[in-house]
Amino acid sequence: MSPVLLLKFGAIGDVIMVIPAAHQLHLQGHEIDWVCGQAVLPILELYPWINAIPIDERALFQGSAAAKLKVLVDLWKRLAGRRYLLAATLYYDARYRFLTTRIHADRKIQLSHTDRAFRLIPGRHHTDEYARILLNWPDQARPQPLAPVPPPKLPPNPLPRSGKKRVVFAPAGAKNIMADDVLRRWQPEHYVALTQLLLACNIEVVLIGGPGDAWIQPLFAGLSVTDLIGKLSLPQTLSLLDEADVLVTHDTGPLHLAGITRTGIVGIFGPTDPRGRLPQRPGTVAIWGGEGFACRPCYDAHSFAPCPSNDCMAEVTPAMVLTEIENLFASPQTPAHITTSKPALTRITLRTEN
């Protein structure tokens, strides 16, 4: 069948939420060409049915006019002679249309804020919405959510188990080449307080993150944690998570990385809506701070409300997170659900089957 071209450079979470739709296209017999950034290339390379085509996204977004033009021309040359059934630019910004100007495709689509057929509907999971858009699925009567697609093979775990329960933190993140979304982050002092609670229970704590997350390391000084921030490749991070008991993080890339592994997940949300982002598999829970806030969620796929205090995230306490960790220890394959932080922990079931 005809090949399909996807243009999605990053961030990590967005790319992982597109993979299930790409997998459905692959199962239909289509070849998958995927134009991506260097940061997510190691993830896409884990899937043998994806032909990953990396570009220099920093030059494309932040380079001179000549550097941007070179990226475009190099891409067009690489794809010259290919005829696509579909070329999908999975961004809202109209400027991205230039990427497919010289690409031959029977049909070209792009995300749109005004055309419902190509809009990620708020409150729906992005995984399912990308599938609806790419596969032309109906806008209704889709009772079965798409689960994450685990890679077929991972490298060895870089940190063998110690015999203790292991909880992994990704306490920084929420940052990419385009933006630093500080309002997504759970407060660093809460991560430190939760670390102290876990260590008192003889539970191992491991820190993960990229080289740009080094700023948070001094906050854990003096605590008996295993600090792997900036030390692991993405495939190694996946292997570590696959054999961990629980990951605790906010709405950032490692949340979605964990979704394609077997670890339990406690995701902490405030300004973004977990119904669109919590991985759709058993063993995951979101704590959504700010219950009753008229401004929640405030993220509109482009920007956040001008919030000086981030109260919705601050409402999620270390004790609340510890409770959910203990629940996952007791029953790691419980259905995915959301809890809200105020006035009580009220469960909203997202998925009921194991």
pLDDT on residue 331? 84
pLDDT on residue 347? 38
Q: What is the Cα–Cα distance from 352 to 333, expressed in whole angstroms?
A: 11
The reported pTM is 0.89
**Predicted confidence (pLDDT) per residue in 175-229, tens digit:** 544 556 788 899 999 999 999 999 999 999 999 999 989 999 999 999 999 999 9
Residue 93 or 35, more confident:
35
- Of 83, 141, 132, residue with least CA distance to 108: 83
Q: What is the Cα–Cα distance from 258 to 116, expressed in whole angstroms?
A: 30
Residue 239 or 181, more confident:
239
**Predicted confidence (pLDDT) per residue in 128-173, tens digit:** 999 999 999 999 877 788 999 999 999 999 999 989 999 999 999 7
Rg (CA), the chain: 20
pLDDT on residue 343? 40
Q: What is the Cα–Cα distance from 339 to 337, expressed in whole angstroms?
A: 7
State the helix-helix crossing angle for 188-200 and 318-330, rounded to 10 degrees.
50
* 239, pLDDT greater than 90: yes
* Percent of the chain's residues with pLDDT above 90: 73
Q: Which residues contact 264 (CB under 8 A, 6 or more apart)?
A: 245, 246, 247, 283, 284, 325, 328, 329, 332
Three-class DSSP labels, 255-290: HHHHHCCCCEEEEEECCCCHHHCCCCCCCEEEEECC
pLDDT on residue 30? 97
pLDDT on residue 342? 53
**Predicted confidence (pLDDT) per residue in 289-313, tens digit:** 988 888 888 877 667 778 778 889 9
Structural domains of the chain, with CATH: 4-135 (3.40.50.2000), 166-349 (3.40.50.2000)
